[in-house]
Amino acid sequence: MKFRQHERNKQMRHYRTVLGLILLLSLVLLAACGAPADGGMAAEEGPAAEEAAADDEVVEIEETEEETMELSGEIVVSIASNDVQTYQAIADAYMELHPNVEVLVELKAPGVDAYLQWIRTQFTSEVPRVSIIESPHLREFAQEGRLIDWGPYLNKENPYTGEKWENSFEEWGLNLVRDPNTGQMFTMPYMSVQTFWLYNKALFEQAGITDVPPQPTWDQFVEWNEKLRDSGVIPIAMEGTTEQIWGGGRMPWLMRSAMDQYHRDELEIIQCQEGDWCFREGIDDVWTYDPSDVRNDDPDRVSINIARHLAALRDGTINFNNECTVEMMTNIGRVFQTANGFVPEGWTGMADAYPLFLTQKAAMRMVHGGIYTSLPKDIRGLAQGEYGGAAEVTEEDSAAAVEFEYGRFAFPNIEGPCVQGTARANELTQGYLALPVKDRAQNDLEVDFVMFWTSLHGMQIFLENKLDPENLQGGIAGPPLIRNVSLPGEWEEVFAQSVFVGNYEKPGAPGDAVARGFFKYEETKREWSIMVQEFFEGKITAGEFAEGYQALLEDNFDGLLEFLNLTHEDLDNPEKRPPGWVAAGPY
């Protein structure tokens, strides 16, 4: 890679030398002809002088490395992670190539709420000091014009590969986070992730469960929980605080998967129509609704009109106070209502149930692909009394932390009159790198660092450190989105075993947008999480949840429009592009 950069610099020096000689010879010839001060005359004689210069032999003058313009400045990496090893390794490799650049790795503690609040404090400054942040929850800053648009940079050559930068990425990954109409993209993906269920094989056999299909039905799932409970173990290691339900926990994955099964046909309501600003010929005029195709609503298959979606919610065309919401919540309650005994005792006050799974007190847990790299290290850490989670662990827990054989299955399919398709999961990008807008030179420097990071060499450094068995803070959730990058050692085979069932989280997906509050508007997310918790605790019925959820939408609709930078006038004129609308990825 250093050789490539040297060759690039050499070509630029040659270009500048030739150009300088041409200009010098032009001036000499003009002076010899007694060129007047009149700019017009000089301009007329310019082409002849250029032709004369072109005929002369060009002598290349070698420049020293010191004369070459080298990148310089400061880059501050502030990602929510404890993995100093990996990010420092990338920083060190970049600084070795560019000794006049200082890359400061200033990681922040993981935690969605705390990290997002920290980001907000950075943007109180007109020019934030931080260079690189990473979160899927950055819509507000994109709407305010505070984040750079990656789109134009993707069309440029990556100096660390010699190719157009966009060509380094899997196309489906970029499509999930960029506006299909404008090409705007405010977060940069570089990894992938999938969510699924993991189970303890020994505990399943002990409960008499021997047939575990790749994707069970919801009825099968309920039956497994009953058998596991009756065998004396906790069926599911699940957290149930309101913060875990709405934000950083696992329950949102299941709720969003369920809502996706019940709202998929709304695509026909919110699709861009002919004459709409977002209508794409050759795509939207040939698309037909097909719920049996789990990719039917991918961004490269169909375009979604945000104004039509919001108008349908406002006018009641899409409504939640109905028998289908009741059916969905009733099915979810068959497993997660506390009275069933499938979740830990006191789970609605539990922020971390993972040790229950690590110590084999619980048989199942919803996870993402990062479990493959983290589980052995987590068991080892707990056994050594070094568990890093929120739960308090005892010496007894440490003694019980031993490795066990596990299996996996996809999100179970709910079945019922209102269900419109099979259960899908998070199968999407991971890594949402964003850069605050600064002056052009500083942003160009920061982009150059990300170009290095997402090159073959940069990703090799990233993966080697993430997958270092001695790096207790490392691990990945899925394969990289960078083409031609191979996972080291056994990991290629491990992630090749993934069973893909479709992705519910994509731009405009009708179910996901309304699955936990509305369009991730915080005023509705928190209230929704309280309602869900009350339902699980038996304080409200499925019917009362349905009624309350519709009321939550109506009571917060104007605030939701303001959050999305939309107006009622935009909704009344869906054929026009809303001037304040910014598509900010699947969120």
Widest CA span in the chain: 104
Using an 8 Å Cβ cutoff, are 510 and 267 in contact?
A: yes
Distances (CA, A) of 422 to 173, 217, 296, 364, 365: 22, 9, 13, 21, 20
The answer for 64, left when phi > 0, alpha when psi is -120 to 50, beta otherwise, is: beta
Q: Is 52 helix (H, G, I), strand (E, B) or coil?
A: helix
3-state secondary structure of 264: helix
What's the angle, vertex CA 519, arms to CA 367 and CA 437, rounded to 5? 90
Whether 329 and 162 have beta carbons less than 8 Å apart is answered as no
Q: What is the pLDDT of residue 585?
A: 62
Query: Tokens for 200?
Result: 């303890």
d(CA 151, CA 166): 9
In this structure, the dihedral spanned by the alpha carbons of residues 4, 5, 8 and 14, taken in order and rounded to 10 degrees, is -120
pTM over 0.85: no
Residue stretches of the chain with pLDDT short of 50: 1-68, 587
Q: Which amino acid is present at 427? A: E
**pLDDT, position 586:** 56
All residues at 6 or more sequence positions from 28 whose CB lies less than 8 Å from its CB, including other chains = none
Q: Could you tell me the sign of the dihedral formed by the alpha carbons of 361, 366, 371, 377, in that order?
A: negative
How many whole angstroms separate alpha carbon 491 and alpha carbon 467?
9
Among residues 534, 430, 443, the alpha carbon closest in space to that of 476 is found at 430
pLDDT at residue 35 in the model: 33
Contacts within 8 Å (CB) and 24+ apart, 42-48: none
Residues in the chain, how many? Answer: 587
Instruction: Supply the pLDDT for residue 248.
Output: 65
267's enclosing H/E stretch is helix 267-270
Contact (CB, 8 A) for 14 and 6? no
User: Which residues neighbour 397 within 8 Å (Cβ) at sequence distance 6 or greater?
Assistant: 355, 358, 359, 382, 387
Q: Which two tokens stand for residue 308?
A: 């039509």
Write down the residue that tokens 């007894």 correspond to.
396
**407 membership: H or E segment, kind and range:** strand 406-409
Number of C-beta neighbours around residue 220 at 10 A: 17
Reference 198, options 360, 394, 51; nearest CA is 360
Query: Can you list the domains of the chain with their CATH numbers?
Result: 2-66 (no CATH), 73-187+428-496 (3.40.190.10), 193-422+501-572 (3.40.190.10)
- What pLDDT is recorded for position 387? 85
Query: What is the reported pLDDT for 69?
Result: 63
pLDDT of residue 21: 36
Question: What residues contact 555, with CB distance under 8 A and at least 6 apart?
Answer: none
The candidate with the shortest Cα–Cα distance to 505, out of 402, 411, 587, 583, is 587
What is the pLDDT, as a whole number, of residue 2?
41
Per-residue pLDDT at 271: 96
Determine the Cα–Cα distance for residues 454 and 191; give it in Å rounded to an integer.
Answer: 10
Whole-number pLDDT of residue 112: 82
How many whole angstroms separate alpha carbon 571 and alpha carbon 579? 12
Contact 155, 278 (CB under 8 A): no
DSSP letter (8 states) at residue 156: S
